[in-house]
Amino acid sequence: MLHRMKHHDDIERATLWLANTCRFLHTLKQYSGEKQFQTENTQRQNEHCLRNFDLSEYRQVFSDLAVWIYQTLIKNMEATIQPSIVLIFCWISPPVPAVLEHEAIAGLTGRRLRGRRFSRAQDTPEYSLDSLMKYMNLVLGVLTQHAVDPEVIKQIFRQVYYFLGASALNNLLLRKDMRNSSKGMQIRYNLSHMEQWLRDNKLQESGAGSSLEPIIQASQLLQARKTDADVDNVCEMCSNLTVTQIVKILKLYTPVDVFEEPVPISYIRKIEQKLKERESIDNSLLMDLKYSYSVTFTFNASSIALETIKVPQQLNIAKLVVRC
C-alpha cells in the first residue's frame, strides 16, 4: 500500500493521508470488541463491535503505514525549512543558519555592509525568521483543518524543532566567526520567538521547546562570564551540551572588541576538569540530524455513530451497506 500513496511530497496530501490512516486505525480498535477500547462507546456503538474477527494483525499494518506517512511528512517539512536554517552568504562558504544569522536586533553585531557583504536573507525575505514562523502557522493550520490528533501534532513539531535546533548548533560549532557574545545574544533573541510561537499555539507541553535546549545553552555560554569563579555555574548551565561541544565553543570564542579579553586557558582547563565529574561523558561534537523521536498514535475514540454515516454517491460504492 505504501507505494500507492501519490504526491507524498505535498504537505497537505500527506497530512490528509496521515489523518485518515490514524482515524481508520482508531476505528479498528474502537470496534474490535476489545474491552479496553470500548470504555467511551455508547451502548449502540458497542453493539456494532466485532465478535468473531481478530483485527490485531491489520491494526499493525495500518500502524506501520501511519508511521511511514508521519516520517514522510517530517522529511518534507525539514526539506522545506532547510533554506531558512542554512543560507549561503554571497561572500562566504560554508552555509550559515538563518536562526544564527538573522539579525532581528538591528546593529547588534556591528556588521558593516560593504558592497555585496550582506546576508542573503536581506535579498530573499522568504528565508527570514518571520517567514519561517509563517510556514509553521501554515503547517499547523493544515494539520488542524484535517483533524490530525492533537498528540500527533505535538510530536510533529517536537521533531521539527529538534531538526531546527540541531542544525543551528552544528553550524555554530563549525563557524569560528559565529562564536562571540553579541552573536550569542542575537541567537537567543531569535530562539525566543520560536519558543513564544509554541506558547501562542498551546504547544509548550509538546517537548518541542526542550529539543531546543542545546542551541539555547550554546547561546547562553557565549554570553556568560568566563572567569575561574564562574566554572561551576557554567557547567550547570550547559547540562544539554556535550563536553566536546562546550570546550570547542570556549576554545574558539572570539572577543567582539579590543576591550574584551580572550577566554583564559586556565578557565577552559577548569571547565574540562569539572565536566569530568559527569556520570556519563559524551564526546560527540555534532548533533545527529537524522535522529527521530519514537512516534505513538494514542487511541482516540470517535463519538460518531455508524448509522449516521452517509456514503457520498460520488464514491460509486453504492453496494457498501452498513447493517445497523
**Please, what is the Cα angle at 286 between 93 and 177, to 5 degrees?**
40
> Which one has a higher pLDDT value, 324 or 50?
50
Question: Mean pLDDT across the stretch 131-154?
Answer: 96
Backbone angles phi, psi at 17, to 5 degrees: -60, -45
> Which one has a higher pLDDT value, 92 or 256?
256
Question: Mean pLDDT across the stretch 244-263?
Answer: 89
> Which one has a higher pLDDT value, 86 or 45?
45
Please report how many Cα atoms fall inside a 13 Å half-sphere around the Cα of residue 193, on the Cβ side.
18
Under 8 Å between Cβ of 183 and 261:
no
Question: Mean pLDDT across the stretch 207-217?
Answer: 96
Which of 297, 293, 294 minimizes the C-alpha distance to 24? 297
- In angstroms, the CA 148 to CA 21 distance is 10
Q: Where are the beta strands (DSSP E) in the chain?
A: 86-87, 96-97
> Helix, strand, or coil here: 159?
helix
